[in-house]
Structure 1
Amino acid sequence: MTKIALYDLDRTITKRPTYMSFLLHAAWRHERWRLAFLPGLLFLFAGYLVRALDRGGLKERMHDMLLGSPVDAEKMAAIAESFAEATLRDNVHPQALARIANEKATGHRLVLATASYAFYVEPLARRLGFDDLIGTLVRRDADGAILAEIDGENCYGDAKMRRIEAWAEEQGLERADAAVRFYSDSQTDLPVFDWSDEPVATNPTNTLRRIAEKRGWPVIAWG
Structure 2
Amino acid sequence: MKKKIYLFDFDGTLTSADTLLAFIRYACGRRRFFLGFALFSPLLILMKLKLYPNYRAKERLFAWYFKGMTLDDFDDVCCRFACHNQRLLRLKALDKLREVFHYGETACVVSASIDNWVRPFFENLAKGSHSDFQVIGTKIETDTAGLLTGCFLTPNCYGEEKVRRIKEQLPILNNQRDDFWIIAYGDSRGDKEMLEFADEAHYRPFR
- Residue of structure 2 in register with 1:112 after alignment: 109
Deviations 1:20-47 (A, max 9, x none): 1111111139xx7575333113122123
- Residue of structure 2 in register with 1:206 after alignment: none
d(CA) in 2 for partners of 1:33, 1:186: 29
Residue segments in structure 1 that go unaligned for 5+ positions in a row? 203-219
- Residue of structure 2 in register with 1:179 after alignment: 181
Deviations 1:153-210 (A, max 9, x none): 11111111111111111798832222111011113212111111111112xxxxxxxx
* Native 8 Å contact 2:25 2:33 kept in 1: no
Q: Of residues 197, 200, 214 in structure 1, which corresponds to 2:199?
A: 197
SS of the residue corresponding to residue 62 of structure 1 reads: helix
- Residue of structure 1 in register with 2:65 after alignment: 66
User: Residues 65 and 170 from structure 1, CA distance in 2 versus in 1: closer, same or farther, beyond 3 angstroms?
Assistant: farther
Compute the TM-score of the two structures, normalised by the length of structure 1: 0.82
- Residue of structure 1 in register with 2:12 after alignment: 11
d(CA) in 2 for partners of 1:40, 1:124: 30
169-178 vs 129-138, which moves further: 169-178
* Native 8 Å contact 2:7 2:184 kept in 1: yes
d(CA) in 2 for partners of 1:81, 1:151: 21
- Residue of structure 2 in register with 1:85 after alignment: 83
* Native 8 Å contact 1:13 1:96 kept in 2: yes
d(CA) in 2 for partners of 1:157, 1:46: 21
User: Residues 172 and 54 from structure 1, CA distance in 2 versus in 1: closer, same or farther, beyond 3 angstroms?
Assistant: closer
- Residue of structure 2 in register with 1:157 after alignment: 159
One-letter identity of the residue aligned with 2:201: P
d(CA) in 2 for partners of 1:9, 1:49: 21
| Divergent runs of 4+, >4 A | 32-35, 170-173
Q: CA RMSD in A?
A: 2.3
d(CA) in 2 for partners of 1:55, 1:171: 29
SS of the residue corresponding to residue 183 of structure 1 reads: strand
Identity rate of aligned residues, in percent?
23
d(CA) in 1 for partners of 2:23, 2:175: 33
Residue segments in structure 2 that go unaligned for 5+ positions in a row? 127-131
Q: Of residues 73, 76, 83 in structure 2, which corresponds to 1:75?
A: 73
- Give 1:10 deviation, angstroms: 0.5
* Native 8 Å contact 2:10 2:111 kept in 1: yes
Compute the TM-score of the two structures, normalised by the length of structure 2: 0.87
d(CA) in 2 for partners of 1:27, 1:135: 22
Aligned length: 201
d(CA) in 2 for partners of 1:80, 1:113: 17
- Give 1:116 deviation, angstroms: 0.4
d(CA) in 1 for partners of 2:62, 2:96: 32
Q: Which has the higher contact order (CA 8 A, sep 6+)?
A: 2
SS of the residue corresponding to residue 98 of structure 2 reads: helix
User: Residues 181 and 168 from structure 1, CA distance in 2 versus in 1: closer, same or farther, beyond 3 angstroms?
Assistant: same
163-172 vs 79-88, which moves further: 163-172
* Native 8 Å contact 1:139 1:147 kept in 2: yes
